[in-house]
């Protein structure tokens, strides 16, 4: 574990998501010492996350956006339904809030991103090395003519331009949702990247080899196709490219248990996280029944 710089870490948990948020937060707590901000709307959304003095909770009231979003309901909403894309607008709101707190940089990490080793020092060093870079972001690009940026893991340098940029992204997201109800945050930042040369010049795309998305899981298999050649150890693993919390949990478990970089400690985190999350859910159900 390394000494923290002045970097904040943000996660958004405004959905009924079992297991995954706890695993993500436990992995961050394990390998960093930085302050973590958890954006949420309903207390039930965060009932199974661990208690830790480094966690700072930011509650939304549902009125921060032009079109209010409630986030009500007892079921996990995935990206196959329009409601999901309304909820993810709160990424911009959370980032705006944290940008005003005096941190030098801010990392946003989705709740399905597992931190395998600490990326903070590398991100901070990159900002120092390249003063023209204000954003470092994950990508799932397959064609160089069509860059696809991923808001699942992104670092922002907290300059005077950050708040206006976040406001532009939030407004663009609201506008695009009126045209297409299935517009996500990845679509928004990718569109701005392609259409705005000034914004594009600030962006550094993180290497897929060490900041991989879920479709690259097989790269980290224990069985090498060519003896002696192994992949780079990733900083994080993003369990996306599958739909539904059950499949995401299975994908994350596959990396934590069966990849070349699986560690005994990660298995303990997974088992404890699952047990704690299930217990919290059962307690929540019992409380609801008693209140009826």
Residue 131: which CATH number? 3.90.550.10
Q: Is residue 256 part of a domain?
A: yes
Confidence of residue 234 (pLDDT cuts 50, 70, 90): very high
**Region of poorest pLDDT, from 53-62, 140-149, 264-273:** 264-273
Number of domains present in the structure of the chain: 1
Say if 208 falls within a structural domain: yes
Distance CA 68, CA 70 (A): 7
pLDDT given at position 54 = 97
Exposure of 142 by Cβ count < 10 A (0-12 exposed, 13-18 middle, 19+ buried)?
exposed
| pLDDT surpassing 70 at residue 72 | no
Q: Is the pTM of this model over 0.75?
A: yes
Confidence of residue 271 (pLDDT cuts 50, 70, 90): confident
Q: Which domain holds residue 234?
A: 7-291
60, part of any domain: yes
* Mean of pLDDT values over 205-228: 94
Tokens describing residue 210:
């060490």
- Residue 190, domain member (yes or no): yes
How do residues 1-11 score in pLDDT, each as one tens digit?
444 569 999 99
Does 245 map to a domain? yes
Residue, of 262 and 239, whose pLDDT is higher: 239
Query: Is residue 249 situated within a structural domain?
Result: yes
* Predicted local confidence at residue 217, as pLDDT: 96
Q: Which tens digit of pLDDT belongs to each residue from 91-134?
A: 999 999 999 999 999 999 999 999 999 999 999 999 999 999 99
Q: What is the mean pLDDT of the chain?
A: 88
Report pLDDT for 75. Answer: 56
pLDDT value of residue 67: 60
Within-domain flag for 105: yes
Please indicate, yes or no, if residue 1 is contained in any of the structural domains.
no
Can you tell me the distance from the alpha carbon of 120 to that of 200, in angstroms, rounded to the nearest whole number?
A: 23
- What pLDDT does residue 285 have? 47
């Amino acid at each position: 574990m390394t000494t923290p710089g002045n970097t904040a870490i943000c996660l958004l948990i405004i959905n009924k998501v079992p297991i995954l948020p706890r695993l993500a937060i436990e992995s961050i707590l394990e390998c960093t010492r930085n302050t973590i901000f958890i954006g949420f709307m309903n207390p039930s959304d965060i009932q199974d996350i661990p208690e830790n003095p480094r966690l700072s909770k930011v509650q939304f009231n549902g009125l921060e956006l032009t079109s209010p979003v409630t986030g009500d309901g007892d079921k996990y909403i995935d990206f196959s339904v329009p409601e999901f894309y309304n909820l993810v607008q709160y990424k911009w709101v959370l980032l705006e809030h944290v940008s005003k707190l005096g941190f030098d940089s801010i990392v946003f990490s989705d709740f399905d991103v597992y931190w395998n080793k600490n990326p903070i020092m590398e991100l901070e060093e990159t900002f120092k090395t390249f003063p023209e870079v204000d954003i470092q972001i994950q990508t799932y690009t397959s064609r160089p003519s069509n860059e696809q940026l991923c808001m699942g893991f992104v670092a922002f340098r907290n300059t005077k331009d950050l708040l206006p940029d976040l406001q532009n992204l939030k407004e663009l997201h609201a506008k695009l949702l009126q045209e297409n109800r299935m517009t996500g945050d990845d679509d928004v930042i990718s569109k701005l990247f392609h259409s705005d040369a000034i914004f594009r010049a600030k962006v550094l795309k993180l290497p897929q080899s060490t900041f991989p998305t879920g479709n690259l899981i097989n790269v980290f298999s224990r069985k090498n196709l060519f003896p002696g050649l192994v992949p780079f150890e990733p900083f994080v693993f993003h369990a996306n490219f599958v739909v539904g919390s059950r499949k995401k949990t299975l994908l994350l478990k596959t990396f934590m248990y069966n990849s070349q970089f699986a560690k005994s400690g990660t298995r303990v985190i997974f088992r404890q996280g699952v047990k704690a999350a299930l217990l919290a859910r059962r307690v929540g159900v019992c409380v609801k029944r008693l209140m009826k």
